[in-house]
Structure 1
């Protein structure tokens, strides 16, 4: 009776949280009644809904448009303006280019080509998978990258297993010549975590080999989801928290002189990504493959049957793609153009093309301008080469009339593959930041944290990383960054620390959710293949979180200190007379 009652309560938990949370938080606006308390009520309600996901994340992000006007925090027209800011347009344009890359299968061609170059030794193969996944997740979504890479990993693992199974069968056949009848009775078919073996010899060598293959499967699949999360941190459009940072900087510090743009963020985050990727590779290789320097980098060694089989699988997958089409070449050209324009718009050490060639002010042309421009070209340029040489022929005219003109990207494809919910999620975060600023809640929270000024900034950064990395394991990384960044910005103003000293570590830590399958979509995709248990992901992930915090601390206190002038309190943040 009690068990059935508890089960029914558990099934109704979403409805109970959805209904009772607003009433539980009502003392804030009813008893205190200030604008700060009203804003805190809205933020608390959204934080609970985001953490429990009783509503879709994008729907929860729409609550400020309803609650801020009702509680006299902000006017409705001011709230609604936050949902489509410059940062949202940057994300929209970057996503459209990523959708085009995915639509034309260009990401798969790049991945397979790199894997053919890297090599097929297990350790090098893992490094190749991680490098390709990290590079692709810099430009397209982490989820799409993982969904594309894991089947390739699975095909390689299956081929490796089939090769090993053939070797086992040959060994067993030779043993049958000596004692065929006894082997028939002693051995039978066994399935080890989805891998089927013809026979299992009662020997320590056979058991050890099965365990090694299982560990390799775990390592090869885990490396993909971890590399996707790490790679997304290197560019502004790689993951949501990076865009939340640049949007919050523009929102909270409008005079910051574009200190966080595509070029400056890449210059800071890319070396950190490389260091963390190498450290993650060494850690995963150590616990799953066994780190052996000579075996990994030995030159001139003869390839084993397993390595040849893995290479053949990758080569066959690449051969199926065929030669590059006109559309792939066009999308690749536009992708390169986008990256070049982003880097040269305002490189920092010299005038960029926006201020030099067009004589525009810095705030006129932004990274969003470039992203939308290239995204528009995708809907303009044709998917097939134009028939310029045979316009006058009747056959050419008939072909042009019979075949409808297709562009590199159509609106139907963009509408189907675009994650529109992220735009609303970003907009809701900007609305929360603006409401916290206008109501005075951010300033009040910053004053409460002023005793932290006695702690060194590097120690504050470590505390922030630990807190955010723990929080992001159970909620969306975009929601985590949205909730923490405004508070940390106000705190930095109160204690006289450069806001980037704490906001940048918070942004990076929000993407480092390695411990649980539900923490990120890449983790969930890898977990669904059945090789990895929750305990495996937790054991590897807790060390990955520590690696991430150490790498962030190193980056922010070395080249980050010089790039962003973190030793001084900037004038654009000095609103409180610090």
Structure 2
């Protein structure tokens, strides 16, 4: 959770300057971190903002160097100033609130003593009226009179006085006498005398009617007297005005008191959070003693102070119930709660939320982007941009590609390349989708959603029974939607659930920091450790989320590196390359692996997958690590001195029940996936097992509805569209029509030569387009090539193709990890990586990983008997 955001949205705006200066203190922590690492010989602290030096107190040994002890003293001094500011503001505000509450209680008691209608306010219930005017016929325009009655708190004496007043003074004087609530008898007599000269002549019939109506109301009032009337339950205008006045006063004072209580709580959280961050960054232990000895003993956080605030809030609620809700305390609490400021709760951030935020800002997931542009920079200008009298015309690169794809699509429809309409139309749709996916003329998931529409409208599906007939549009639609949401898609959603739960409960950070704490300070060891961690994290929280997490963990290291250090770009690129390799390590680490499982017959179980993928990934990581050491030589600074890396400290957090529960469910689910073949008669498919973590985490509150909405549903729809297109290629008999072409291509070639050629083709295609889309297009082809070999090996070539799809990482747009790495910037906003970094290091790394798959991976596949 970001406390700065919580403080920003929950603080009382008028008191903003009186809260703990959390952001400023955080900047001081990073300054102290640098000074401790540099061990300044003069014992001085560099103020990075003001470019000045502040002399620190020497430590107890008399040494002048900056160490943890002097840093603790300096930071404690900063906290003391904040504590003093908060204490002063709180005591002054509390005194004002106490005075206002005392005044309010006295005023309420005074109103109780006055009764329901103070003297001289008999006519406070009458409404303001305009002067009477006679029309041209001499008729009186009557006023609209309010009718006091028993239910409105008027006594019979009040009404008799009104009757006599009507008789003596006339209508206008009577209404004028009761206009102001609370007017005195003397004021009314003066008003009566001053208005006699202006008294209009009232027709006798009109006056008689008024007197009769008032008398009838008086008679009714005498028959129904109201007992125990008070200003808090009377229904006169005066009583309502009094209640409205006190309602506003109580509500305002209640909100101030609740705001003061929130002020205390937020500032305590601020001290706790900033001290926790200080201890984490500088590996100190200042939090516990400072909180217990300074903060918790200060006046705002004493138990009696908190009790006083709660008592005030209870008293204000009781006053509100008495003055407004007729003694109903529950209704008073409900109404006062509505008047409070909305409290915004910030749950713990996850890598999924970070990725969604990046995608919404346009930093990632928005197609190819030129490296060298800063994040947030405006897009490149259109290819053609001019203004006509009908409006502005902008022709972009995406529009050009979309137009080309559309032209190719309709040209293939108009000129069938095959004899039968179903495979011919399917071929046109395949080419159309391929161009859109490869160029990202429209978002990838939009193309995937469009695919089922085209397959249904152009009727490319043939029946799978012995009749082999062309399905109608209705039948084709049902078939396509039935294959889109397959068990493989459920497996993908289950993988998202596991990843989100691990991230939400902080298990990933706890485990990863504990592993990285053993890396030491040597750049080569730290580099290898991060690559292993990135690869391992990609196996379980996907190769989409793992680099985002790792880039967050390396920020403390990047902050302390010398300027222009080669270790920074080397580390960022290494994490991205390792995440790509990790995408092949487990069936749920990337969507392309799920597409591989979907096309295998029978699909591999997890143990068989691990027996091939883990050795391949491990060897690839080691070889790429050695290559990066030779390429960047990150062990030295610019001036040639050895570089020492700040060590990663293990997390001190202990596992809670949620973390143990998540760990248990994850281990159980993965164990069931590993032995799925043995229990297939009971569970049916791995997709059914994937339901277990969904139910376990969402039903127990580990994950919320918002977490479910944060899943990368665009990837789900890409996989669903790819599944639909793959089934359509098969059901339309397009693959059968390609048999002749495929046989001619592989005729006379040995099996291993076919493997080498296929590996090269897959690597090139997956380098320039999305890995998932590459698998959608190439896995069906690999299946058909394997089936047409003299000795069929469809599953082997499918597995090989899926693994190599993850090795295409030579360009900035080659997969999500590369796109994320390409957007990483330093403190001044400059990008760490350039096009040269990817071309010089990404392309060789891709070739290395592909060779490992085509050699070691191929041998392991043969060893487990994969066909």
With the length of structure 1 as denominator, give the TM-score of the two structures.
0.74
Alpha carbons 1:468, 1:480 under 8 Å: kept: yes
> 1:227 matched to which residue of 2?
578
> 1:274 matched to which residue of 2?
618
C-alpha displacement of 1:11 = 4.4
Alpha carbons 1:240, 1:478 under 8 Å: kept: yes
> 1:550 matched to which residue of 2?
851
1:115-264 alignment to 2 at 5 Å? Answer: 115-161=516-562, 195=563, 213=565, 215-249=566-600, 256=601, 258-264=602-608
C-alpha displacement of 1:129 = 0.2
> 2:437 matched to which residue of 1?
50
Q: Deviations over 1:536-575 (max 9, x none)?
A: 1111111111111211112343121021344xxxxxxxxx
Alpha carbons 1:461, 1:501 under 8 Å: kept: no
Cα distance change of structure 1 residues 70 and 373 upon mapping to structure 2, 3 Å threshold: same
Alpha carbons 1:245, 1:507 under 8 Å: kept: yes
Give me the CA root mean square deviation. Answer: 2.3
> 2:819 matched to which residue of 1?
524
**SS of aligned partner of 1:227:** helix
Cα distance change of structure 1 residues 6 and 341 upon mapping to structure 2, 3 Å threshold: closer
Alpha carbons 1:468, 1:509 under 8 Å: kept: yes
CA distance in 2, matches of 1:331, 1:305: 42
> 1:59 matched to which residue of 2?
446
Alpha carbons 1:488, 1:499 under 8 Å: kept: yes
Q: Deviations over 1:460-482 (max 9, x none)?
A: 11211211111112211111111
Match of 1:90 among 470, 491, 497: 491
Moved more, 366-375 or 41-50: 366-375
Q: Does structure 1 residue 336 correspond to structure 2 residue 672?
A: no
Which of structures 1 and 2 has the bigger CA Rg?
A: 2
**SS of aligned partner of 1:472:** helix
Moved more, 498-507 or 532-541: 498-507
Moved more, 219-228 or 110-119: 110-119
Cα distance change of structure 1 residues 152 and 290 upon mapping to structure 2, 3 Å threshold: closer
> 2:422 matched to which residue of 1?
35
> 1:478 matched to which residue of 2?
772
With the length of structure 2 as denominator, give the TM-score of the two structures.
0.50
CA distance in 1, matches of 2:500, 2:848: 32
> 2:208 matched to which residue of 1?
none
> 2:763 matched to which residue of 1?
469
> 1:15 matched to which residue of 2?
399
CA distance in 2, matches of 1:339, 1:371: 9
C-alpha displacement of 1:21 = 2.3
1:368-447 alignment to 2 at 5 Å? Answer: 368-381=687-700, 407-416=701-710, 418-447=711-740
**SS of aligned partner of 2:856:** helix
CA distance in 2, matches of 1:261, 1:375: 21
CA distance in 1, matches of 2:603, 2:422: 31
Alpha carbons 1:104, 1:328 under 8 Å: kept: yes
CA distance in 1, matches of 2:382, 2:401: 17
CA distance in 1, matches of 2:568, 2:838: 13
C-alpha displacement of 1:216 = 1.4
Match of 1:110 among 511, 524, 533: 511
Q: Deviations over 1:141-190 (max 9, x none)?
A: 222211111132232132233xxxxxxxxxxxxxxxxxxxxxxxxxxxxx
> 1:286 matched to which residue of 2?
630
Structure 1: gaps of 5 or more residues? 162-194, 196-209, 250-255, 293-303, 347-351, 382-406, 567-578
Alpha carbons 1:137, 1:231 under 8 Å: kept: yes
**SS of aligned partner of 1:318:** coil
CA distance in 2, matches of 1:340, 1:565: 22
CA distance in 2, matches of 1:329, 1:487: 44
Q: Deviations over 1:308-361 (max 9, x none)?
A: x611xx22x734xx3333222221222222222222333xxxxx3x25xxxx26
> Looking at both structures, which has the greater relative contact order when contacts are Cα pairs under 8 Å and sequence separation is at least 6?
1
C-alpha displacement of 1:6 = 4.4
Cα distance change of structure 1 residues 5 and 106 upon mapping to structure 2, 3 Å threshold: closer
Alpha carbons 1:446, 1:493 under 8 Å: kept: no
Cα distance change of structure 1 residues 243 and 10 upon mapping to structure 2, 3 Å threshold: farther
C-alpha displacement of 1:88 = 0.4
CA distance in 2, matches of 1:123, 1:97: 32
Alpha carbons 1:42, 1:64 under 8 Å: kept: yes
> 2:52 matched to which residue of 1?
none
CA distance in 2, matches of 1:228, 1:440: 37
Q: Deviations over 1:41-71 (max 9, x none)?
A: 1011101110111221111112232111221
Alpha carbons 2:567, 2:634 under 8 Å: kept: no
Alpha carbons 1:457, 1:501 under 8 Å: kept: no
Alpha carbons 1:140, 1:238 under 8 Å: kept: yes
Alpha carbons 1:143, 1:521 under 8 Å: kept: yes
> 1:318 matched to which residue of 2?
651
Alpha carbons 2:620, 2:848 under 8 Å: kept: yes
Cα distance change of structure 1 residues 10 and 128 upon mapping to structure 2, 3 Å threshold: farther
Which has the larger share of helix? 1
CA distance in 1, matches of 2:599, 2:796: 15
C-alpha displacement of 1:97 = 1.0
CA distance in 1, matches of 2:675, 2:606: 10
Alpha carbons 1:462, 1:549 under 8 Å: kept: no
CA distance in 2, matches of 1:513, 1:549: 8
C-alpha displacement of 1:305 = 9.7
C-alpha displacement of 1:20 = 4.4
Alpha carbons 2:766, 2:805 under 8 Å: kept: yes
C-alpha displacement of 1:223 = 0.7
Alpha carbons 1:246, 1:260 under 8 Å: kept: yes
> 1:79 matched to which residue of 2?
480
CA distance in 2, matches of 1:512, 1:284: 16
Alpha carbons 2:567, 2:635 under 8 Å: kept: no
Cα distance change of structure 1 residues 509 and 10 upon mapping to structure 2, 3 Å threshold: farther
CA distance in 1, matches of 2:453, 2:551: 41
Q: Deviations over 1:228-286 (max 9, x none)?
A: 1101211100111110111122xxxxxx3x34122221221111111111111111112
CA distance in 2, matches of 1:459, 1:541: 25
Alpha carbons 2:616, 2:857 under 8 Å: kept: no
CA distance in 2, matches of 1:236, 1:477: 14
**SS of aligned partner of 2:655:** coil
Cα distance change of structure 1 residues 46 and 378 upon mapping to structure 2, 3 Å threshold: same
Cα distance change of structure 1 residues 108 and 459 upon mapping to structure 2, 3 Å threshold: same
- Number of residues of Structure 1 aligned to a counterpart in Structure 2: 452
CA distance in 1, matches of 2:849, 2:709: 35
Structure 2: gaps of 5 or more residues? 1-380, 386-392, 462-475, 825-830
**SS of aligned partner of 2:699:** coil
